[in-house]
Structure formats: C-alpha cells, structure tokens
C-alpha cells in the first residue's frame, strides 16, 4: 500500500478498468482513477450493521497547499483535505454513527430544502396561484372572469385558450413576476408591498393590484404561509365616480355627440366600430358584447347571455331590435369561426386591442366634429344608454332590467321577491331607443334587411 503524495496522485494514469489506490496514511482512504482519466476520493468502511460500503467524498484537487476552509463531503479535496475528512469520519464511526446513512439523509434534506426554497419564491407562488385559482362552487367553480387581467397585473400572460393548470405562461418584462421571480415570500413585507402599490399609479390599478396580492397571499399553501403583507395596509380608494355621458350639453341633451359617435363607428367599421354601436344600442357591458356567440341569439331574436359571462353571475336576456341585426350583419365574418364568436378578428378568441381601437374611434369622431371630443371610455355608453332611456320616458325598473342591475329598485328584499322580467317592457324600450338612434344618425330604416346572422346561426 503506497504512501500517496500530491505528485503521485497527479502521475497515476488511467487503465482500461477502474483503478483504486489505497493510502497508507489514512484509514480506508482510496484514490479512484476512472478509465476516462477522472480522479476522485472515496472511503472504504464498515457500517454498524457489519456491511462494507464505499463513500465517495469528492473530486481531486491537485493543489500542493491545503485551502483554509474545512473539507466537506462533495467538495473538491486536496490530498491533505481528503485525509482530514477521512479521520473525521473515522471518529464518527467510532462513536457508532452510520456515516453512510447520515450522508444520504443530508443529501435528501438538501434536495428537499432546495425544492421548498424554489417553491416558496414569489415567481413559483404566483404561477401556482393562477393554476389553482377557481371561483367558489356557488359561482360555478370555474376560473374567475377576470383571471387573465389579474395575471397580467402580476406579470403573467397566457396564450388565448391556454389552461394555466397545464401551460407555462409568458413572464412580462419589468413586472412583479419578473422582478420578484426569485424573491422568497418571507422577504416580501408590508413596506415593500406598500411601495409597489404606490408606484402602480392611479386608484383603479392600485386597488386591483392590492386586491389580487391580498388574495394570493391569503391562499398560499400552509407550508409556505407567511404573514399577509397586505394586512394592515390601507386599501387604495376607488377611482373617482364617473358621470360622463356622450354629449351632455348645457340643456342636458346628448344628441350631438351620440350622432358623432354613431357616424364615426360606421366610418371605422370593422369589428370594433360595430361592437361599440351594439354596446350603445343594448347597454350591455364591453366584455359581454365582445364575447357574444351566435348560439346565444335565439330564433325569437333574443340575446341570452349566460350567467358565466355576466358581472353579477346572473343570466341576462336582451330582445334585440331590428337595428341590432343590421349592425351584426355588417360585422366582418372571420374566415374560421368554430366557436361561433360574432366579434372576433381571428375566429378563435373575442376581440381584443380595445385601447388601440379607441384611439382610432376618437380620431374619427374628432374629424366629424371638427374638434377633439372630450375623453370618454366605452363603459360611459351604459350611462348614456340609461340616460337616453330616461329622456324617452322609460321607467327605471325597465332600465334596471336592461342593465342587468341587482341594485337600485331591485336591491335588498325587493331583489329577492321581485322576479318579474319586464320582457315586453324591454322590447318596447329598445325599439324606442333604436328609433331614436336612427333619427340621430339620419339612418333610414332598411326594409330589406337580410338577417344573415340568423341564417349563419341556423347553418
């Protein structure tokens, strides 16, 4: 049995088979020389059970001088460090410790700790949150209606139609999911969240970001549960209440701007222009109109929006007047529309890109009016719709039913006991509103409407 030296360790050459060279200065220490030329240190020993075993302790460091740090199993070891580690393990064996079992246990602990460390980062937690996020059984148990919007707030974007439970998202550069990707959840405190909320800008965005972070931290798995950093923080206030309606002048009329809006929608055409017109005509919400499907329109001309697509999870029916079908018949039909979507650019997903399209609408309105139009958002069309019906003498309960509100005259006990659907009243109100819009836009009724939408539905 030779006495190993740094020089001899370097000189040993590989053979066709694996070589083991024992060191007579350290009990059980072996230099392993692989056929490939790789060299490592191992210890041959006897376990407390009496069985023999080999424990690889590290690769060979050919340096002549020993480093100052203590040798550890799995490191790169000089001859001196390998001897010191061998002596240390021998002392442990003398005390009855099974060093092989301890080494295996430590490796498992390290692997588990590493996995938990990764899983306990914000980047992993936010992915898992959206993969599992569902509504309550009372609300159908599906994914929340705005889960994509909430995911974008935190920095994750899934492709249209993708299932977050089985599909990896795209991480938006500069977002929380990107900046906090490797940040442990335990390091995210109230001060940090407060700073992020403050930088979000605007009460609306700040409020939404606060809400989604609050839900995320409250639903963390128990083993990663940390103190919710949003607890104790003041929730950003709601955005300022809006009272904008189109074209409300000194006399309370809104006709001029509605006319400009309607004509501009005709001029820009495409999916967006007709979508916006249908919003003003029906008072429906933007996402409800954007997600309209042929199957939702019955042979009786009534558009029935399922509960899964409404804000309050209550089904909603809108009897479409003839003007609505004229609008729908002008919507460009996608080349491939397997889902039956009416307002779709690709036939697979509802129309998107509202911000860019709204810029085009504003420009078209300014061109017709000869001056810039006061800023408004599409949701203001619902308020314009309600105000217009009131000006035409439509009673409030009918308007509330057309807006699918559960507040106002139908709030509280009244909402429970008042189940009348005002079907006939809604038809009269919408026909009256459609007639009014025709007059404003100088749009003569078309007596030869070819109800292509209905034909496409039946086909």
Written as one string, the DSSP assignment of 181-249 is TT-BGGG--HHHHHHHHHHH-SHHHHHHHHHHHHHHHHTS-GGG----TTTTSPPPPPPPPP---TT--
For the chain (459 residues), the mean pLDDT of every run of 10, in chain order, is: 86 92 90 93 88 90 81 88 90 87 75 51 87 66 78 87 86 87 85 85 79 86 69 77 68 69 90 94 92 90 89 87 92 67 82 87 91 88 91 89 71 43 86 90 48 37
Residue that is last in its domain, among 86, 117, 148:
117
Distance CA 109, CA 399 (A): 64
Residues 352, 353, 359, 360: is their CA dihedral positive or negative?
A: negative
Nearest in space to 16 (alpha carbons), one of 42, 31, 41, 34:
34
Please check whether residues 201 and 272 belong to one and the same domain. Answer: no
**What pLDDT was estimated at residue 131?**
84
The answer to whether 343 and 350 have CB atoms below 8 angstroms apart is yes
Overall number of domains in the chain: 3
Note whether residue 250 is domain-resident. Answer: no
**What pLDDT was estimated at residue 302?**
93
Residue that is last in its domain, among 90, 117, 144:
117
Note whether residue 420 is domain-resident. Answer: yes
Q: Which residue has the tokens 């509330």?
A: 400
Note whether residue 194 is domain-resident. Answer: yes
Please check whether residues 278 and 422 belong to one and the same domain. Answer: yes
Please check whether residues 130 and 110 belong to one and the same domain. Answer: no
Please check whether residues 210 and 326 belong to one and the same domain. Answer: no
CA distances from 98 to 48, 52, 104, 308, 436 (A): 6, 11, 10, 61, 90
How many C-beta atoms surround the C-beta of residue 162 within 10 A?
14
Please check whether residues 44 and 126 belong to one and the same domain. Answer: no
Please check whether residues 133 and 89 belong to one and the same domain. Answer: no
Note whether residue 416 is domain-resident. Answer: yes
Nearest in space to 125 (alpha carbons), one of 230, 228, 231, 224:
224
Element (H, E) at 41: strand 39-46
Residue that is last in its domain, among 82, 117, 152:
117
Distance CA 456, CA 459 (A): 5
Distance CA 187, CA 349 (A): 39
Note whether residue 237 is domain-resident. Answer: no
122-132 helix and 99-119 helix, angle to the nearest 10 degrees = 70
Which token pair is 408?
């106002």
Please check whether residues 306 and 420 belong to one and the same domain. Answer: yes
Domain interval for residue 77: 6-117
Please check whether residues 173 and 267 belong to one and the same domain. Answer: no
Please check whether residues 265 and 199 belong to one and the same domain. Answer: no
Note whether residue 232 is domain-resident. Answer: no
Nearest in space to 326 (alpha carbons), one of 235, 167, 434:
434
Please check whether residues 126 and 98 belong to one and the same domain. Answer: no
Note whether residue 248 is domain-resident. Answer: no
Note whether residue 1 is domain-resident. Answer: no
Q: Give the CATH number of the domain where residue 267 resides.
A: 1.10.443.10
Please check whether residues 98 and 164 belong to one and the same domain. Answer: no
**Burial 313-327, CB ≥16 within 10 A → b, else e:** eeebbbbbbbbbbbb
Residue 216 exposed, middle or buried by CB count within 10 Å (0-12, 13-18, 19+): buried
The answer to whether 124 and 118 have CB atoms below 8 angstroms apart is yes
Q: Give the CATH number of the domain where residue 77 resides.
A: 3.30.160.390
The answer to whether 212 and 228 have CB atoms below 8 angstroms apart is no
On whether the pTM is more than 0.75, the answer is: no
Please check whether residues 183 and 308 belong to one and the same domain. Answer: no
Beta strand 52-60 with 75-77 is: parallel
**What pLDDT was estimated at residue 405?**
79
């Amino acid at each position: 049995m030779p006495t190993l030296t740094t020089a001899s360790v370097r000189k040993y050459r590989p053979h066709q088979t694996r070589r083991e060279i024992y060191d007579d200065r350290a009990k059980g220490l072996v230099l392993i020389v692989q056929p490939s030329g790789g060299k490592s240190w191992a210890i041959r020993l006897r376990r407390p059970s009496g069985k023999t075993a080999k424990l690889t302790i590290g690769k060979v460091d050919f340096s002549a001088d020993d480093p100052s740090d203590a040798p550890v199993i799995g490191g790169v070891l000089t001859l001196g460090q390998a001897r010191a580690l061998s002596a240390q393990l021998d002392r442990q064996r003398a005390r009855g410790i099974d060093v092989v079992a301890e080494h295996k246990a430590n490796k498992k602990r390290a692997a588990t700790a590493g996995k938990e460390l990764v899983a306990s980062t914000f980047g992993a937690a936010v992915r898992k949150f959206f993969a599992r996020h569902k509504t309550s059984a009372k609300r159908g148990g599906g994914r929340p209606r705005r889960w994509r919007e909430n995911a974008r707030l935190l920095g994750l974007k899934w492709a249209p139609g993708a299932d977050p439970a089985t599909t990896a998202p795209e991480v938006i550069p500069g977002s929380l999911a990107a900046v906090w990707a490797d940040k442990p959840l335990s390091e995210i405190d109230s001060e940090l969240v407060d700073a992020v909320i403050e930088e979000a800008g605007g009460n609306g965005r700040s409020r939404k970001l606060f809400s989604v972070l609050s839900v995320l931290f409250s639903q963390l798995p128990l083993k990663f549960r940390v103190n919710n950093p949003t607890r104790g923080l003041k929730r950003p206030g709601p955005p300022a209440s809006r009272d904008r309606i189109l074209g409300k002048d000194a006399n309370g009329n809104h006709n001029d701007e509605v006319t400009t809006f309607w004509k501009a929608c005709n001029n820009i055409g495409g999916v967006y222009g007709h979508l916006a017109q249908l919003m003003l005509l029906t008072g429906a919400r933007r996402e409800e109109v954007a997600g309209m499907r042929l199957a939702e329109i019955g042979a009786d001309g009534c558009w029935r929006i399922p509960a899964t697509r409404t804000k309050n999870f209550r089904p909603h029916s809108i009897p479409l007047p003839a003007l609505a079908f004229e609008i729908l018949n002008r919507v460009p039909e996608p080349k491939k529309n397997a889902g039956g979507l009416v307002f779709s650019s690709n036939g697979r997903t509802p129309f998107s890109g509202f911000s860019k399209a709204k810029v085009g609408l504003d420009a078209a309105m300014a061109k017709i009016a000869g001056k810039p139009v006061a800023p408004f958002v599409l949701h203001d069309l619902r308020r314009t719709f309600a105000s217009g019906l009131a000006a035409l003498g439509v009673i409030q309960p009918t308007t509330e039913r057309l807006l699918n509100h559960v507040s106002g005259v139908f709030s509280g006990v009244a909402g429970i006991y008042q189940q009348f659907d005002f079907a006939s009243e809604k038809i009269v109100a919408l026909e009256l509103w459609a007639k009014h819009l025709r007059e404003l836009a100088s749009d003569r009724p078309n007596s030869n409407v070819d109800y292509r939408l209905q034909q496409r539905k039946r086909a």
